Structure 1
Amino acid sequence: MCGIAGIFNRRGRPATVNALAPMVSAIVHRGPDGFGHFTDGPVALGHRRLSIIDLSDASSQPFHSRDGRYHLTYNGELYNYRELRTELEAKGVVFETDGDTEVLLQSMILWGDAALKRFNGMFAFGLWDSVEERLTLARDRFGVKPLYWSKQTDGTLLFASEVKALQAYPGFRTSLDQKALVEYLTFQNIFTDRTLYQGVSLMPQGSVMHVTRDAVPAPVRYWDFDFQEPENPPSDAELFEELDYLFRQSVSRQLVSDVDIGSYLSGGVDSGSITALAARELPYMKTFTVGFDMSSASGVELGYDERAKAERMSYLFKTEHYEAVLKAGDMERALPLIVGHQEEPRVGQCYPNWYATKLASRFVKVVLSGGGGDELFGGYPWRYYRAATKTDFSSYADTYYDFWQRLVPNEAFDALIGPLDASAHVDTREIFHGVFDQVQTSGRLRAEDCLNLSQYFEAKTFLNGLLVMEDKLSMAHSLETRVPFLDNDLADFAMRLPAHLKVKNLKEVVRMDENKSAKGEKYFAKTKDGKLALREVMSRHVPDEIANAVKQGFSAPDASWFKGESIDFVRRKLLEDEPAISEIVDTNVMGDLVEDHLNGETNRRLLIWSLLYLNEWIQSQDLQPATPEPEAPKAAA
């Protein structure tokens, strides 16, 4: 697990260590165990190392092929590297190290891009072929590890694990990408490969691109999610047995390490099941929970603190358990640090994750996370049901689009973004539809099809945002996060699960929609109505009250805190004087929306967090005035 950066001067100028060094220094937190660099004419590759597998200097990077043709800077872990190594050795490949870095390099040399589909793990890398003068950039299929790239006006291509490394390149300048901002204010996420930094793109998950002196082609997708209702599925009992086997296999695979591994442990089935299985192989492993001071919380927020459930599981699994308790002021203190490391905002509140990674990093270098369990196994039934009754794609997409406008009421949106250029007012509905570009959407839809479309959408967008956030916050503390649910074999299995093993009441939702008198009751899903197969199988490993508990997201009681203990902070940052965010939003409209929450009229906790983040982000950035630029190329099929 590491940080990478690189330069390709496509017009032939020599790339220098002096230009590369500031880029690599900017991400020292990602790899405090070592630093390496390599130059070859127009190319410079840099690396920061966090030693996890093969701690010897033999696996230091950039890593080179024996003949000196190929040079690799790589961030990630291949959990199946031993199997790949055996296959490569059978083909005559001789290895000089014991780690996964050389396996990745030799796989790419032997199999080319076809190797990417063989890799079971998380990765982002840059590979330079000095003979063909070709730079290959690739990101893992699920997008666990981020990779940013930017094409400069002088033809230079830059890439790195974080935007701050690109910003450290001598002469680098950027401005606010206003179109990306409109995406974020619509969805609390960015669905395209844009970022808030104009001219900087996030490599799409499951994509690869080959850069030469002559061309910077669009990234090409080598893998994509494919949720399909099976025509003749095995029996439920057979599926349960297969799921149990694949899950146990995935957890075991991801325990490969030459350093200590711990696990997050909330009160839920995902992290609880991972911990239960990992603890069988790692006695007295360390576990970590973050809870919340609930003294001022009310309503549904009273259930947000899961420390008691986590302590119960720690007792059962005999883990060495640590916990932290957050109060309202902890968000205020952490916000500048979070913005500095996460860079642009993605998805919702993330400061609980910041403190969780901070806690875990005090004791281990690797931590297991339950991320991906909801997206793959159907963890959001109350969202899926909203569009489950549609019979054509256009109606489905319009309904789900309306739901995913998370932050600003329609009637206030245009006025809120009034300070932005007219060209920034992009068609966000078209952007939403564009998520499904690689999916067959013609023909009549069944409820099962709508469910699969919703899972596809959330895996491509919501999960992607969660993974980027998790990577940035954990690596800020030099901590590697692993996600056993995002194992290739387990994910392939999950995408073929029948709908009745994902969510309850799908047919009932359709019946109630057809019965117009009952339509008002349509969205009756309870938060334990999802992940049915996973709950059934995980009840073998965790107590029934955990396996079948109501789902609880990892969220602080912000709705209460923002209008309570943190109300002065919110007012000071957003409503008083001249906030930095006034450059991009109408402060009168913003003030009315924020006051709605502070007065207890409407719950706008998501919007307030986003505004606080954007206000801090603008203050922290050295942005140039916006200039018209061509759009970054979109991923190709």
Structure 2
Amino acid sequence: MCGIAGIAGLGEVEPPSENLLQKMAQAMAHRGPDGEGVFLKGKVGLAHRRLAIIDPSPAGSQPMVSPDRNLAVVFNGTIYNFRELRSELEKQGHLFKSQCDTEVLLHGWKKWGEDLVPRLNGHFAFAVTDHQKGMVHLIRDRFGVKPLYLAKLGKNLVFASEIKAITAHPLYTAEVNHQALAEYFTFQNLFRYHTLFKGVELLPAANIMTINTRTGEIKRRAYWDYNFSNPDQSMGQEEAICEVKRLLIQATKRQLVADVPVGAYLSGGMDSGSLVAIASRELNRMHTFTCGWHMGSVHGVEASFDERVQAELMSYLFKTEHFEQIVGHTDVGWALPLVVNHLEDLRLGMSYGQYYAARLASKFVKVCLSGAGGDELFGGYPWRYYRVSHSLGKKEFFDNYFSYWQRLIPKGLRQNFFTPAAKRHMEGDDMRRVLTRVFTFHSNLAYETPEDHIANSLYFEAKTFLHGLFLVGDKLSMANGLEERFPFMDNDLVDFAQKIPVRYKLRDLEEWKHQDENAFGKKKSYFQTHDDGKNILRQAMSLLVPKEVSERKKQGFSSPDESWFREGNLELVKRLILRKGAMCHDYISPRVITEVMEAHCRCGINLRLLIWSLVNFELWLQLFMGKAGDYYQSLGLDEMTNELMKSKPPSQIKAA
């Protein structure tokens, strides 16, 4: 994994400067501490920061250029089947100088052009320039694991792995994208491919963009999409169990390819436990990592959020060398500006735990396996599906789904949440339509049975929620010079998982159909006791992971912020979003923010997700639209304390 950037001139323009490309690369130096490079030819310039994972020798340096200097490539990610592709190319006369996957892209593009992309089993974002044809091609992997941002600045298309590299361009002026802001505070995510930075977009997952530098024409096409709507109804359950097990073992072994140490995150759950069970058979004394919480001031359901005991059990069983990061409420304030700075474009809920986990892992390994994707492929969120499982047709499905996903702001506060000035910039943006347009590529889906609705939910969550998880994971791991890998997101495993009938993924589906949709309390109680999901995965892994894990209810990696926002971190939150002069007050009503805090602290309403988003938005404004030092000033800290916080981060790490 690395950081890539580039500039493609559109029509008659001056060639990009080497100094500018170096400046863009330097903005992403954390992504590639092992080297940097720049390539210039004509109206195109490429820049690269290297995190050396496969063939760390100079032969793997980028940008990588063909002998005739016609083709050049910059690449972020890993191609897990690069050795098979290399062997195929060598049989056709291609000669290789390195042992890395980047060179396979260079030769593969020369041989197959865009037809190379469907052959790739990996997670990637890369750019290929063809000087003879005057073309630049930008490509992102099937699932959107690796980001690639775009902005048209003057007569140039500028692209990069991080927004920081684009904002380093002198023609970019930072402004808030109000449409993205409205979307974020509706869904705590962005379903469209714009960002909070006006003028900066994401290349969609599974897309190829072609740029003609001579005519200025830009084209984009999708080469793949999820499809859960055509399961193989003839598939037997035993067949599905055996094949899931085989493919997950195959995927995990594939993703161990590296010339540097590989470890894994390890919680108490099925997904990470399955990966460690498999990988620990291949790696002697494998390193595993868990982030846990100080629970002294934690109450209610959050008292069960710490999973260190379960992780330690699995570490013992799989004979891993296990390390834990223990985070308390006092550690949140130190991490927040770092998290927001690296996230750049706000997504999803509490993520400082991921930052600390990645920071811990980076002390020991350069590559870390993650269990993300297991829930979305195998039906890990039954409490979400039941909200739409009894919908009567397409309209009711979207009514119910929209009602669920616009959960961030309490209904009574939505009308006056944004300031009048901010709302004027948001007029005409229909958030329900934003949700329904996620299904644009599948306009003929069925909306009749519970199976239909659950299959459609799986599609939606893979396209939106999972994509957000990947963006957060990429940014916070690369902030620490760490590559995350996701074995569940292997091409072969994903293709098969989409073909598995819903009845094998969710237990007692027939009972779902007989739940009285009018008896909401009874129905909710039923799903609280049947919230395991991923039944087929549990059965497939039952011989590899202990019963306490395979039969355990879904926990999720979540920090106890409902409690911490009421007690330990209450003053931190107040000083950020309730202080006079807070930047977020230009966009969000101060009166509403006060009501949110009152409801959470005095009325017992759990608004931790909304408070997290408000705090992050205030920091985002300070860091990207204001002055970076404003954060420390808002907390009343002097310059000496500021420097102390920078230089002495918390280090509560122990070997388990």
Contact 1:17 1:37 survives alignment (8 Å): yes
Looking at structure 1, the residues matched to 508 and 597 of structure 2 have their Cα atoms a distance apart, in angstroms, of: 37
Q: Which runs of 5+ in 1 are unaligned?
A: 625-637
For residues 416 and 312 of structure 1, do their structure 2 counterparts lie closer, same or farther at Cα, with a shift above 3 Å needed?
Answer: same
1:525 maps to a residue whose letter is F
What's the secondary structure of 1:14's corresponding residue?
coil
Which residue does 2:482 correspond to in 1? Answer: 479
1:507 deviates by 3.0
Q: How does 1:104-115 map to 2 (within 5 A)?
A: 104-115=105-116
For residues 505 and 587 of structure 1, do their structure 2 counterparts lie closer, same or farther at Cα, with a shift above 3 Å needed?
Answer: farther
Per-residue deviation, residues 362-388 of structure 1 (Å, max 9, x unmatched): 111000000111111111000011101
Contact 2:229 2:445 survives alignment (8 Å): no
Which residue does 2:201 correspond to in 1? Answer: 201
Looking at structure 2, the residues matched to 595 and 578 of structure 1 have their Cα atoms a distance apart, in angstroms, of: 20
Which residue does 2:523 correspond to in 1? Answer: 522
Contact 1:261 1:364 survives alignment (8 Å): yes
Mean alpha-carbon deviation: is it higher for 7-16 or for 133-142? 7-16
Looking at structure 1, the residues matched to 447 and 233 of structure 2 have their Cα atoms a distance apart, in angstroms, of: 20
1:548 deviates by 1.0
**Aligned pair partner of 2:569 in 566, 569, 577:** 566
What's the secondary structure of 2:49's corresponding residue?
strand
Looking at structure 1, the residues matched to 377 and 128 of structure 2 have their Cα atoms a distance apart, in angstroms, of: 31
1:231 deviates by 4.6
Looking at structure 2, the residues matched to 400 and 220 of structure 1 have their Cα atoms a distance apart, in angstroms, of: 28
**Aligned pair partner of 2:584 in 569, 581, 584:** 581
What's the secondary structure of 2:416's corresponding residue?
helix
Contact 2:260 2:367 survives alignment (8 Å): yes
Length-normalised TM-score, structure 1: 0.95
What's the secondary structure of 1:239's corresponding residue?
helix
Contact 2:77 2:122 survives alignment (8 Å): yes
Mean alpha-carbon deviation: is it higher for 427-436 or for 501-510? 501-510
Looking at structure 2, the residues matched to 584 and 16 of structure 1 have their Cα atoms a distance apart, in angstroms, of: 37
Looking at structure 2, the residues matched to 215 and 9 of structure 1 have their Cα atoms a distance apart, in angstroms, of: 8
Contact 1:229 1:448 survives alignment (8 Å): no
Contact 1:174 1:623 survives alignment (8 Å): no
**Aligned pair partner of 1:622 in 621, 625, 647:** 625
1:35 deviates by 0.6
2:550 maps to a residue whose letter is A
Contact 1:528 1:548 survives alignment (8 Å): no
1:215 deviates by 3.5
What's the secondary structure of 1:617's corresponding residue?
helix
1:344 deviates by 1.7
Contact 2:532 2:552 survives alignment (8 Å): no
Is 1:592 aligned with 2:595? yes
Looking at structure 2, the residues matched to 231 and 248 of structure 1 have their Cα atoms a distance apart, in angstroms, of: 22
2:367 maps to a residue whose letter is V
Which residue does 1:2 correspond to in 2? Answer: 2
For residues 380 and 358 of structure 1, do their structure 2 counterparts lie closer, same or farther at Cα, with a shift above 3 Å needed?
Answer: same
Per-residue deviation, residues 453-498 of structure 1 (Å, max 9, x unmatched): 0010000000000000000000000000000000000111111111
1:87 deviates by 1.6
Which residue does 1:127 correspond to in 2? Answer: 128
Which residue does 2:375 correspond to in 1? Answer: 374
What's the secondary structure of 1:415's corresponding residue?
coil
Q: How does 1:267-346 map to 2 (within 5 A)?
A: 267-346=268-347
For residues 200 and 94 of structure 1, do their structure 2 counterparts lie closer, same or farther at Cα, with a shift above 3 Å needed?
Answer: same
Is 1:503 aligned with 2:506? yes
Length-normalised TM-score, structure 2: 0.93
1:599 maps to a residue whose letter is R
1:539 deviates by 1.3
What's the secondary structure of 1:470's corresponding residue?
helix
Per-residue deviation, residues 528-560 of structure 1 (Å, max 9, x unmatched): 430000011111111011111011110111001
Q: How does 1:143-158 map to 2 (within 5 A)?
A: 143-152=144-153, 154-158=154-158
Q: How does 1:158-169 map to 2 (within 5 A)?
A: 158-169=158-169
2:6 maps to a residue whose letter is G
Contact 2:280 2:320 survives alignment (8 Å): yes
Contact 1:369 1:484 survives alignment (8 Å): yes
Contact 2:183 2:189 survives alignment (8 Å): yes
1:522 deviates by 2.3
Mean alpha-carbon deviation: is it higher for 85-94 or for 550-559? 85-94
Looking at structure 1, the residues matched to 440 and 516 of structure 2 have their Cα atoms a distance apart, in angstroms, of: 28
Contact 1:501 1:533 survives alignment (8 Å): yes
Per-residue deviation, residues 111-162 of structure 1 (Å, max 9, x unmatched): 222221111111001111101111100110011110001001x211100000
Contact 1:392 1:442 survives alignment (8 Å): no
1:576 deviates by 2.6
1:421 deviates by 4.2
Looking at structure 2, the residues matched to 232 and 384 of structure 1 have their Cα atoms a distance apart, in angstroms, of: 20
Looking at structure 2, the residues matched to 71 and 576 of structure 1 have their Cα atoms a distance apart, in angstroms, of: 51
Looking at structure 2, the residues matched to 216 and 189 of structure 1 have their Cα atoms a distance apart, in angstroms, of: 31
Looking at structure 2, the residues matched to 355 and 380 of structure 1 have their Cα atoms a distance apart, in angstroms, of: 25
Looking at structure 2, the residues matched to 216 and 598 of structure 1 have their Cα atoms a distance apart, in angstroms, of: 54
1:108 deviates by 2.0
Looking at structure 1, the residues matched to 102 and 22 of structure 2 have their Cα atoms a distance apart, in angstroms, of: 22
2:41 maps to a residue whose letter is D
2:422 maps to a residue whose letter is L
Which residue does 2:642 correspond to in 1? Answer: none
2:160 maps to a residue whose letter is A
1:188 maps to a residue whose letter is Q
2:273 maps to a residue whose letter is G
Which residue does 1:420 correspond to in 2? Answer: 422
1:619 deviates by 0.7
1:311 maps to a residue whose letter is E
Looking at structure 1, the residues matched to 115 and 101 of structure 2 have their Cα atoms a distance apart, in angstroms, of: 17
1:301 maps to a residue whose letter is E
Which residue does 1:99 correspond to in 2? Answer: 100
1:519 deviates by 4.5
Is 1:611 aligned with 2:614? yes
Is 1:470 aligned with 2:488? no
Which residue does 1:360 correspond to in 2? Answer: 361
- After superposition, the CA RMSD in angstroms is 1.5
| Number of residue pairs aligned between Structure 1 and Structure 2 | 621
1:296 deviates by 1.6
For residues 88 and 407 of structure 1, do their structure 2 counterparts lie closer, same or farther at Cα, with a shift above 3 Å needed?
Answer: same
1:443 deviates by 5.1
Which residue does 1:72 correspond to in 2? Answer: 73
Which residue does 2:492 correspond to in 1? Answer: 489
1:442 deviates by 5.3
Looking at structure 2, the residues matched to 183 and 277 of structure 1 have their Cα atoms a distance apart, in angstroms, of: 40
Q: How does 1:548-567 map to 2 (within 5 A)?
A: 548-567=551-570
1:228 deviates by 2.6
Which residue does 1:392 correspond to in 2? Answer: 393
1:197 maps to a residue whose letter is F
**Aligned pair partner of 2:464 in 461, 466, 489:** 461
Same amino acid, percent of matched pairs: 45
Looking at structure 2, the residues matched to 73 and 171 of structure 1 have their Cα atoms a distance apart, in angstroms, of: 23
What's the secondary structure of 1:249's corresponding residue?
helix
1:285 deviates by 0.8
Is 1:538 aligned with 2:541? yes
Looking at structure 1, the residues matched to 291 and 455 of structure 2 have their Cα atoms a distance apart, in angstroms, of: 32
Per-residue deviation, residues 286-324 of structure 1 (Å, max 9, x unmatched): 000011111121221111000001111111111111001
1:242 deviates by 0.8
What's the secondary structure of 1:386's corresponding residue?
coil
What's the secondary structure of 1:173's corresponding residue?
coil
1:335 deviates by 0.4
What's the secondary structure of 1:420's corresponding residue?
helix
1:83 maps to a residue whose letter is E
1:600 deviates by 3.8
Which residue does 1:44 correspond to in 2? Answer: 45
Looking at structure 2, the residues matched to 233 and 264 of structure 1 have their Cα atoms a distance apart, in angstroms, of: 36
Looking at structure 2, the residues matched to 193 and 442 of structure 1 have their Cα atoms a distance apart, in angstroms, of: 23
Looking at structure 2, the residues matched to 116 and 414 of structure 1 have their Cα atoms a distance apart, in angstroms, of: 46
Looking at structure 1, the residues matched to 100 and 204 of structure 2 have their Cα atoms a distance apart, in angstroms, of: 27
Looking at structure 1, the residues matched to 512 and 319 of structure 2 have their Cα atoms a distance apart, in angstroms, of: 42
Looking at structure 2, the residues matched to 560 and 49 of structure 1 have their Cα atoms a distance apart, in angstroms, of: 41
2:615 maps to a residue whose letter is L
Q: Which runs of 5+ in 2 are unaligned?
A: 628-656
